[in-house]
Amino acid sequence: MSHSSKKVAVLVEQQYQELEVWYPYYRLKEAGYGAYLVGPEKGAVYPSKLGYPAKAELAASEINANDFAGVVIPGGFAPDFIRRSEAMLKFVRDLASQNKILAAICHGPWVLCSTTALRGKKATCFYAIKDDVINAGAEYHDAETIVDGNLITARKPDDIPAFCKALLAALS
């Protein structure tokens, strides 16, 4: 079954965690969704923590949240760079305001700390940013994956299978 009319952005920036970008990206494509690597600049190549390149297929400044069903926000150190891009934050904020799927893993919820998306929601994340997630208004739980409405969060690469399963269920 093709879901290609449903588009999902997978955010990329330098120092991303490899598995947290590529596993969801290819899993979405395998399930028939339109998955797109979205960065601050279209065509720019963003190296992972280990140097693996991710070429942005779309620029955040050139896309509209109305055209997307959701977003995957990976961890690594990329969220610190994603938060420096107003276009990237605007895209995530617009998705949040439209109650679209916000799927963030590991350090990914750090991006959501720059929005109001965590307020009043249950969430998990990598333990190092737990305080940030709590201070952004979330009720933190140390769990493999948490789904609270449109919000899907997971702690670390080991949680990717459960994270992707929850993401695909939310999209269907």
Mean of all residue pLDDT scores within the chain: 96
Catalytic residue among 3, 107, 125, 164: 107
Question: 66 CB contacts (<8 Å, ≥6 apart)?
Answer: 94, 98
pLDDT tens digits for range 107-137: 999 999 999 999 999 999 999 999 999 999 9
- The question of whether 106 is a catalytic residue gets the answer yes
DSSP-derived secondary structure for 149-165: TTEEEESSGGGHHHHHH
Give me the pLDDT at residue 165, please: 98
pLDDT tens digits for range 23-44: 999 999 999 999 999 999 999 9
Catalytic residue among 106, 113, 125, 164: 106
Structural domains of the chain ordered from first start: 3-171 (3.40.50.880)
pTM of the model: 0.95
- The question of whether 141 is a catalytic residue gets the answer no
Residues 99, 165, 12, CA angle at the centre, nearest 5°? Answer: 65
- The answer on pLDDT for 4 being more than 70 is no
